Amino acid sequence: MKTYLDCIPCFFKQALFAARTAIDDEAKIKEVLDRIGLLVSEIPLDSTPPETGRQVYRTVREVTGVEDPFKELKKENIETALKLYPALKQTVETAEDPLETAVRLAIAGNVIDFGANPDFQLEQNIQEVLHREPAINHYQAFKEKLECAQNILYLGDNAGETVFDKILIETMAKPVTYAVRESPVINDATAQDAIDSGLDKVALVVSSGCDAPGTVLAACSDQFLDCFKKADMIISKGQGNYETLSNEERPIFYLLMAKCPIIARDLGVKVRDTVIKS
Amino acid sequence: MKTYLDCIPCFFKQALFAARTAIDDEAKIKEVLDRIGLLVSEIPLDSTPPETGRQVYRTVREVTGVEDPFKELKKENIETALKLYPALKQTVETAEDPLETAVRLAIAGNVIDFGANPDFQLEQNIQEVLHREPAINHYQAFKEKLECAQNILYLGDNAGETVFDKILIETMAKPVTYAVRESPVINDATAQDAIDSGLDKVALVVSSGCDAPGTVLAACSDQFLDCFKKADMIISKGQGNYETLSNEERPIFYLLMAKCPIIARDLGVKVRDTVIKS
């Protein structure tokens, strides 16, 4: 997905939120915004939003000196999700179609997002997503693809959401490689967050090699690109991965909640709609 | 009121909205945002938001070549308000306290704002504001001050709202100087908009000499500053005038609806609350 002009005010909003989460120093936070200001003219509109997001969050880290502003929030979200795990697991196991329920839960977990959606309500959202029809629903294609898939690449998104991903991976019962960001960016999951969520018990956890809040292939490691090429099914979680991969010709299934009006418009859905898209 | 860090993303949002209203050329609109980007580091946080707003809307005019992007919208809003005039006038005349009703109506008209509030619903808002207690209510002080005032300066805000101001001025039945912006900025009223609203029939219409979306005293004409100094009562409409004058030691009454969360916080009220503040 290209960068829309509407993304530009949003980069400032996100930088402000991240910088305020990192430090309590108005002059320094202003310096972050000053530097993002200088970036604007260098944003090509045919690049994807996470390519700029990468620079925005790098600037926040450089100016504030805080490597991972969302560290504590990520930890809390993983803990909250782990507490929900037994009940969610039971919901899946007693469902008429456990796979479908697990897919919906994995999408419900995508509400945990400090980039596009800092004021999320997790538990309320789970019930809503479980009972609402996805606005784009390629679940049948997902199910059929899964039946014959032998080499699944699962692209993670946010810390905490990772626990919901674990439930889907357990329900799929197939060999899965789970890819995370190379280093902290917003509340996206890193290898440590994946391990803290127990994903190393059910999948091979790898890094994409990239520190963007998405999967910018040009910035990914050779090892990851090899996984990406060889996978016979790719499950892509969240907005950032969709934004960076939506033009790729690979067997990708996007599972996400549309949290910003721009992505919603790009997908032809409404804000808060859920999507299972091949 | 100082510029808060939250104002910075909002300047981009406003520039985008104004540029899109002016032209349909993505590259040019991007150029507007590029130039606003370069402005960020020059914004002192101890300046008021309209001081930067002035530069933002100047940039929109310079890059798009459109002097008054909101010209048609302003015209429509004045026409809509003029159609409502007879009914509003009757509401005031049949009210228990016509002055209080006229003040509330003048605040209701402040909802017409393409800077902070492009998706306003005028008629619905009128009813709401008429029947809801202002969150800050210095109406008694307003009424008392008005009784002895002989030289009232009324600072206009948006085109269309001007018609509501006319009703209040008629109800006050005192000599009034009505000040407007020197040239078009957002949908703020200029002299022509004031005349189109019939304000020249009930007040002396003057320009502030300033093209900011507020009253930046340092940029106002000597003639206006003279009025400002000599007035024994100043009625200041809207957010922009509040932002630029809130630290002034003059007998000012601010009539406004808090349309952005930052001003609401500054005033200690909620978004959409109405305010009569001395």
Alpha-carbon span A202 to A213, nearest angstrom? 24
| pLDDT for the residue A115 | 66
Share of chain A above pLDDT 70, in %: 98
What pLDDT does A116 receive? 66
Average pLDDT of adjacent 10-residue blocks, chain B of 278 residues: 96 97 97 98 96 96 96 93 94 96 95 72 86 96 97 97 98 97 96 97 98 96 97 97 96 96 96 96
Say whether A37 and B33 touch across the interface (CB within 8 A).
Answer: no
Out of A6, A13, A29, closest to residue B16 by CB: A6
Q: Check residue A117 and give its pLDDT.
A: 67
Question: Hey, what long-range contacts does A247-255 have (CB within 8 A, 24 or more apart)?
Answer: A247/A1, A248/A217, A251/A145, A251/A278, A252/A278, A253/A138, A253/A141, A253/A142, A253/A145, A253/A277, A253/A278, A254/A278, A255/A103, A255/A106, A255/A107, A255/A110
Predicted local distance difference test score (pLDDT) of residue A113: 74
* Percentage of chain A modeled with pLDDT above 90: 93
pLDDT tens digits, A239-259 = 999 999 999 999 999 999 999
Of A12, A39, A41, the CB nearest to B12: A12
Show residues of chain A in contact with B20, CB under 8 Å.
5
Sign of CA dihedral A200, A204, A209, A212: negative
8 Å CB contact of A5 and B30: yes
Q: Give the whole-angstrom CA distance, residue A241 versus residue A226.
A: 17
> Which pLDDT value is given to residue A274?
96
Kindly state the average pLDDT of the residues A73-100: 95
Instruction: Choose, out of B3, B12, B25, B63, the residue to mutate when testing the contact with A (most A CBs < 10 Å).
Output: B12
pLDDT digits (tens, 9 = 90+) for A40-79: 999 999 999 999 999 999 999 999 999 999 999 999 999 9
Can you tell me the ipTM of this complex? 0.91
What does the pLDDT average to over A135-152? 97
**Disruptive mutation site among B40, B60, B119 for chain A (greatest number of A CBs within 10 Å):** B40
Confidence band (pLDDT; 50, 70, 90) for A121?
confident
In B, what residues contact A, Cβ < 8 A? 5-6, 8-10, 12-13, 16, 20, 26, 29-30, 33-34, 36-41, 45
- How far does chain B reach from its first CA to its final CA, in angstroms? 15
Using an 8 Å CB-CB cutoff, list chain B residues near A37. 36-41
Query: What is the Cα Rg of chain B in Å?
Result: 18
Write down the pLDDT at residue B229.
97
The confidence score (pLDDT) of residue A52 equals 96
Q: How far apart are CA A203 and CA A174, in angstroms?
A: 9
B99-150 pLDDT, tens digit per residue, is: 999 999 999 999 887 766 667 778 888 888 999 999 999 999 999 999 999 9
Say which residues have a Cβ less than 8 Å from residue A129's Cβ, sequence separation at least 6.
A104, A105, A107, A108, A111, A257, A274
CA nearest neighbour of B106 among B250, B257, B217, B243: B257
Q: Taking CA B148 as the corner, what is the angle to CA B144 and CA B151, rounded to the nearest 5 degrees?
A: 120
| Residue among A54, A105, A53 nearest A237 (CA) | A105
Q: What is the pLDDT of residue B116?
A: 65
Banded model confidence at residue A178, pLDDT cuts 50, 70, 90: very high
Distance from CA of B193 to the nearest CA of A (A): 31
pLDDT, position A270: 97
B5 interaction partners in chain A (CB closer than 8 Å): 16, 20, 26, 29-30, 33
Count Cβ atoms below 10 Å from residue B163 Cβ, excluding itself. Answer: 27
- In which band, very low, low, confident or very high, does the pLDDT at A224 lie, cut at 50, 70 and 90? very high
Closest CA in chain A for residue B19: A5
End-to-end Cα distance, chain A: 15
A143-166 average pLDDT score: 97
- Please tell me the pTM assigned to this model: 0.92
Judge: A37–B41 Cβ closer than 8 Å, yes or no. Answer: yes
Q: Are strands B233-237 and B152-155 parallel, antiparallel or unpaired?
A: parallel
